[in-house]
C-alpha cells in the first residue's frame, strides 16, 4: 500500500512541479524560547545524553523550521542552475531526495526525531526521564527507541495518570499529523512555497497510515519478538514498543496495573511490548509456550481490541482528504458584497486520542487581512460522538502606540467524554482561549508572547490533559 501511495504521489506532484513557477512568499519561522510551565517544571529534566526535553510546541517548530529553511535554500540554489530551470523535473527530484533522506537518516530535528520527542514530552511532563536514541542510531531507516525509561516510572504513570499513559503511545503520530496542518497554514495564509512542502505532507500521511497497518496484522508479532530477544539490557528497551498496539491495549484497560503485562522473556523487568495476535492463534500459542511457558500471554490483544485497531487503520486514510497533497493550496472565490477575491481550502484529519479518536474537518479562509482557520472536531469514544469547534484568527495586523503588531486569537470549545474515558456515556464541556502578540523588532525579526488557558480536556498539540495556564515567548523570523 505504501508503494502504491508513493507512486500516486510521484506522478501527480511531478506534473504539478513542472507547471508551477517559484513563488517565494514570506514565511514566519517560530522559535519558542520559553514554554512555561513545561520548561520550568518536569520538562526541564535532563537525561543520560544530557538533553533537556523540549515541549511539543518547541520540537514541532524546530522540525518545521528545519524543513522549510532547507527547502528554501535548495530552491534558491536550484534557481541558479540554468539546466534545472529548463527541466523542473530535476528540482522535484532534488526536493524529493532531500525529504526522503531527512526522514530516513537519523538526523536531529527530522520527522523521526519529532515523533520521538512528543513521546518524551508526555513522559517529561510527569517527571519521567528518557533518551531519544536517534542521537546515536547509525543505520538508515533503523528503528529508533526512546530508552532509559524505568519500569517503576511507567507503573506510576499508568496508575496515577491512565489517560496520559494512553496519550503517551499516540503522541508520535499526533505530531506528524499536526505538522502537516502547520505547513498548510503557512502555505495558505502566507503564500509561501507550497509545492516544496508536498513531499513532507505525503511522508507524514503515508507514515502514519503504514504504522497503523503494521500494528493491525500479525507482522507486528515477529518484530516484537525480535526486539525482545535482542534487548537484554532494560535501559536499552523502548518505552512502549509499537505505539498503536500499546495505545489500544491501554485504551481498553485503563485501570489494569502496568505490571499485568507480565515479565520480560529474560526475567528482568516488565514485558512492555504489546503483540497483535492472541492465544487462539496456533503459532502464537506455540511461541508463547516456548518463550513464556504458557500458551496465553497477557500482552496480547483481544478480538475487540484487534477490530478497533483495524478500524483506526481504515480511518487513517481520512488524512489523504487534503487538496494540498495534490498541489491545490488555495481555491479562489468572489465576495458577493464587495466583489473582491478571497481564498479558501479544506481538509480532514484523524487523530488517536486518550478517549478513542477524533475526526477533524478543517476550513481555511483568507480575505484581505482576515486569515481564519475553522476546525470542526468530532470526538468519539466507545459510546458517543461529541462535537467541538475551533476558530483561530491568524496574524491580524494592528497599530499599537504607533507601531504595527500582529495578533493571533484562538477559541476552542468542546464536548468530550467525562474524564476522557473510553467506556462512558457521560460527557463534559470544556474549552480554551489563546492569543499571540508579535511585536516587530525590525523587518525580519519579531518578539512574541503567547498566553493560553484551557479547561480539562484533550487538545491536539497541547501536553496538558488537565486544566492549565501557559505562556510562551520567543522570536519569529519573517522573510
Check whether 287 has a pLDDT greater than 90: no
For residue 104, the model assigns a pLDDT of 87
pLDDT digits (tens, 9 = 90+) for 399-446: 988 889 999 999 999 999 999 999 999 999 999 999 999 999 999 999
Residue 292 neighbours by CB distance under 10 Å = 17
The pLDDT of residue 14 is above 70: no
- The confidence score (pLDDT) of residue 26 equals 82
347-378 core/surface letters (b: 16 or more CB in 10 A; e: else): bbbbbbbbbbbbbbebebbbeeeebbbebebe
d(CA 218, CA 273) in angstroms, rounded, equals 14
pLDDT at 42: 72
Which residues partner with 476 through β-bridges? Answer: 30, 446
- Only one residue has cell 476546525, namely 375
Q: What is the pLDDT of residue 425?
A: 97
Cell of 99: 525529504
pLDDT(4) > 60: no
What local confidence, expressed as pLDDT, does residue 51 receive?
Answer: 63
Average pLDDT taken over every residue of the chain: 89
- pTM beyond cutoff 0.85: yes
Phi, psi of 441 (to 5 degrees): -95, -40
Question: By CB neighbour count within 10 A (0-12 exposed, 13-18 middle, 19+ buried), where does 301 fall?
Answer: buried
Separation of alpha carbons 128 and 124, rounded Å = 5
pLDDT more than 70, % of the chain: 87
**pLDDT value for 7:** 47
pLDDT tens readout for residues 167-200: 999 999 999 999 999 999 999 998 766 678 999 9
The pLDDT, as a whole number, for residue 15 is 45
> What's CA 39's distance to the chain center, in Å?
20
Q: Please report which confidence band the pLDDT of residue 88 belongs to, taking 50, 70 and 90 as the band edges.
A: confident
Amino acid at each position: 500500500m505504501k508503494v502504491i501511495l508513493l507512486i500516486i504521489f510521484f506522478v501527480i506532484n511531478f506534473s504539478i512541479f513542472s507547471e508551477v513557477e517559484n513563488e517565494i512568499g514570506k514565511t514566519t519561522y517560530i522559535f519558542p524560547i520559553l514554554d512555561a510551565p513545561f520548561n520550568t517544571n518536569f520538562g526541564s529534566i535532563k537525561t543520560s545524553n544530557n538533553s533537556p526535553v523540549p515541549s511539543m510546541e518547541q520540537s514541532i517548530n524546530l522540525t518545521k523550521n528545519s524543513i522549510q529553511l532547507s527547502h528554501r535554500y535548495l530552491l534558491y540554489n536550484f534557481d541558479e542552475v540554468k539546466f534545472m530551470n529548463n527541466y523542473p523535473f530535476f528540482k522535484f527530484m532534488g526536493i524529493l531526495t532531500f525529504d526522503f533522506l531527512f526522514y530516513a537518516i537519523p538526523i536531529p530535528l527530522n520527522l523521526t526525531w519529532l515523533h520521538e520527542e512528543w513521546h518524551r514530552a508526555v513522559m517529561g511532563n510527569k517527571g519521567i526521564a528518557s533518551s531519544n536514541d536517534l542521537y546515536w542510531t547509525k543505520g538508515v531507516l533503523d528503528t529508533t527507541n526512546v530508552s532509559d525509561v524505568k519500569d517503576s516510572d511507567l507503573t506510576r504513570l499508568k496508575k496515577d495518570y491512565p489517560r496520559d499513559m494512553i496519550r503517551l503511545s499516540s503522541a508520535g503520530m499526533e505530531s506528524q499529523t499536526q505538522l502537516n496542518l502547520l505547513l498548510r497554514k503557512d502555505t495558505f495564509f502566507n503564500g509561501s512555497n507550497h509545492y516544496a512542502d508536498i513531499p513532507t505532507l505525503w511522508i507524514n500521511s503515508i507514515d502514519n497510515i503504514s504504522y497503523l497497518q503494521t500494528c493491525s496484522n500479525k507482522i507486528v508479532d515477529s518484530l516484537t519478538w525480535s526486539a525482545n530477544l535482542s534487548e537484554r539490557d532494560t535501559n536499552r528497551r523502548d518505552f512502549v514498543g509499537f505505539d498503536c498496539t500499546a495505545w489500544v491495549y491501554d485504551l481498553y484497560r485503563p485501570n489494569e496495573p502496568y505490571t499485568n503485562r507480565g515479565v520480560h522473556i529474560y526475567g528482568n523487568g516488565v514485558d512492555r511490548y504489546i503483540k497483535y495476535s492472541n492465544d487462539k492463534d496456533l503459532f502464537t500459542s506455540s511461541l508463547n509456550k516456548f518463550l513464556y511457558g504458557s500458551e496465553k500471554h497477557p500482552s496480547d490483544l483481544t478480538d475487540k481490541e484487534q477490530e478497533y485497531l483495524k478500524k483506526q487503520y481504515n480511518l487513517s486514510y481520512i488524512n489523504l482528504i487534503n487538496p494540498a497533497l495534490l498541489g491545490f493550496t488555495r481555491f479562489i472565490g468572489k465576495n458577493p458584497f464587495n466583489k473582491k477575491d478571497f481564498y479558501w481550502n479544506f481538509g480532514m484529519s484523524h487523530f488517536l486520542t486518550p478517549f478513542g479518536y477524533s475526526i477533524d474537518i478543517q476550513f481555511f479562509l483568507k480575505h484581505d487581512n482576515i486569515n481564519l482557520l475553522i476546525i470542526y472536531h468530532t470526538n468519539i469514544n466507545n459510546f458517543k460522538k461529541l462535537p467541538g469547534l475551533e476558530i483561530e484568527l491568524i496574524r491580524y495586523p494592528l497599530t499599537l502606540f504607533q507601531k504595527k503588531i500582529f495578533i493571533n486569537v484562538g477559541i476552542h470549545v468542546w464536548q468530550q467524554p467525562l474524564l476522557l474515558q473510553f467506556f462512558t456515556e457521560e460527557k463534559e464541556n470544556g474549552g480554551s482561549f489563546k492569543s499571540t502578540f508579535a511585536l516587530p523588532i525590525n523587518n525580519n525579526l519579531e518578539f512574541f508572547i503567547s498566553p493560553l488557558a484551557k479547561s480539562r480536556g484533550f487538545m491536539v498539540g497541547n501536553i496538558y490533559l488537565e486544566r492549565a495556564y501557559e505562556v510562551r515567548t520567543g522570536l519569529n523570523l519573517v522573510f
